[in-house]
């Protein structure tokens, strides 16, 4: 009876929530915890059913022992142009959106595992309330304090990210795992420089001359797999690349991130932290890498072996 009562209570809350959502926007109601958190995304909106029923969901845990070396994977190419855009507190995260008005300043991503040309559209920040967790992707079950996700859309087939997000091979996602460190690269410093202007939901700030290429870690090693967006509606249209070297965040930068709030200034609600989705089952998907483990087994080079390079939560610079 206790279990039945709990299920009925949950069902009642969901019905109430759906009624409230029908009066407004679906985007206003999903969160990262509680009755509107990741476990319920697929129930809040029928169009988000993949969040609960999909078999190619993201993020995932990267188990080094299960990676498949693919000798045909090429180095990823990211153009070096600098772009302008707007950084926004969406209430779910801190998001940079590139200015789409001029194609001349666009940044394109290609090669690697990609068959098409992709144009950078957004950069998302995920972070936790402590230094121990905050990333969406994990390595050998280990979490990182934060993660940057660079999202681009298939510019060969689609007009913009809104069109591409629901289409086959529509999106590329580059995941940069973030480690604690004493200093960070210039582009991440630029990305976080406007945080004091976007403390509350809906606040925006201009961000100019931002280089996606310079944000990336100095490595051509990565793991790739076919997955989904990590937020509603969890569309399974993303080719993910998880770079095999972290970038770094300082304690001051992480503190500044944690000052962001979920609500507007007059109703700030809770701090905007722990905005990460738990890892999802792989369902027999292949996770491919361009790291030849046999070749690099006894060499001092970046690999996904947790005992060699990618140690989570150490703050130490990895092997070069």
- List, for residues 89-138, the tens digit of each pLDDT value: 999 999 999 997 666 679 999 999 999 999 999 999 999 999 999 999 99
Specify the DSSP element, H or E, that contains 256.
Answer: helix 251-257
Average pLDDT (65-75) is 96
How far apart (Å, rounded) are the C-alpha atoms in residues 220 and 103?
A: 27
**Contact between residue 78 and residue 215 where contact means Cβ atoms under 8 Å apart:** no
Catalytic residue check, 153? no
Query: How is the chain split into domains, by residue range?
Result: 2-53, 61-296
For 279, how many CA atoms within 13 A lie in the half-sphere containing its CB? 18
Give the tens place of pLDDT for each residue, 14-58.
444 444 444 346 567 899 999 999 999 999 999 999 999 999 999
Active-site choice (40, 153, 158, 225): 158
**Contact between residue 129 and residue 258 where contact means Cβ atoms under 8 Å apart:** yes
pLDDT band at 294 (very low <50, low <70, confident <90, very high): confident
Domain 61-296, CATH among 3.40.1110.10, 3.40.50.10300, 3.10.200.10, 3.40.50.720: 3.10.200.10
pLDDT band at 318 (very low <50, low <70, confident <90, very high): very low
Q: What percent of the chain has pLDDT over 70?
A: 82
- Copy the structure tokens of residue 146: 């934060």
Q: Which residues lie closer than 8 Å to 149 by C-beta, 6 or more apart? A: 123, 124, 126, 136, 173, 174, 175, 176, 230
Give the tens place of pLDDT for each residue, 203-259.
999 999 999 999 999 999 999 999 999 999 999 999 999 999 999 999 999 999 999
pLDDT band at 75 (very low <50, low <70, confident <90, very high): very high
- Between 25 and 150, the more confident residue is 150
């Amino acid at each position: 009876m206790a279990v039945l009562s709990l299920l009925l209570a949950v069902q009642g809350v969901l019905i109430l929530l759906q009624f409230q959502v029908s009066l407004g926007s679906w985007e206003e109601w999903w969160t990262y915890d509680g009755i509107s958190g990741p476990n319920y995304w697929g129930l809040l909106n029928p169009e988000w059913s993949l969040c609960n029923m999909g078999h190619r969901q993201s993020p995932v845990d990267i188990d080094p022992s299960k990676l498949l070396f693919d000798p045909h994977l090429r180095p990823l190419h990211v153009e070096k142009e600098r772009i302008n855009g707007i950084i926004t507190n969406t209430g779910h995260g801190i998001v940079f959106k590139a200015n789409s008005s001029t194609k001349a300043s666009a940044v394109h991503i290609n090669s690697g595992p990609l068959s098409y040309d992709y144009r950078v559209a957004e950069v998302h920040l995920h972070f936790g309330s402590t230094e121990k967790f905050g990333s969406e992707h994990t390595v050998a079950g280990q979490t990182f304090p934060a993660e940057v996700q660079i999202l681009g859309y298939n510019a060969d087939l689609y007009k913009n990210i809104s069109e591409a997000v629901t289409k086959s091979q529509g999106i590329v996602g580059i995941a940069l795992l973030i480690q604690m460190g004493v200093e960070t690269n210039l582009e991440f410093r630029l990305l976080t420089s406007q945080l004091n202007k976007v403390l509350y939901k809906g606040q925006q700030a201009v961000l100019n001359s931002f280089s996606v290429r310079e944000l990336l870690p100095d490595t051509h090693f990565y793991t790739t797999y076919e997955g989904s967006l990590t937020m509603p509606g969890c569309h399974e249209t993303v080719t993910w690349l998880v770079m095999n070297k972290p970038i770094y965040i300082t304690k001051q930068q992480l503190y500044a991130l944690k000052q962001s709030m979920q609500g507007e200034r007059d109703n700030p609600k809770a701090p905007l932290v722990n905005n990460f989705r738990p890892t999802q089952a792989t369902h027999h998907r292949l996770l491919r890498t361009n790291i030849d483990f046999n070749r690099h087994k006894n060499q001092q080079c970046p690999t996904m072996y947790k005992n060699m390079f990618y140690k989570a939560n150490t703050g130490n610079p990895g092997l070069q």
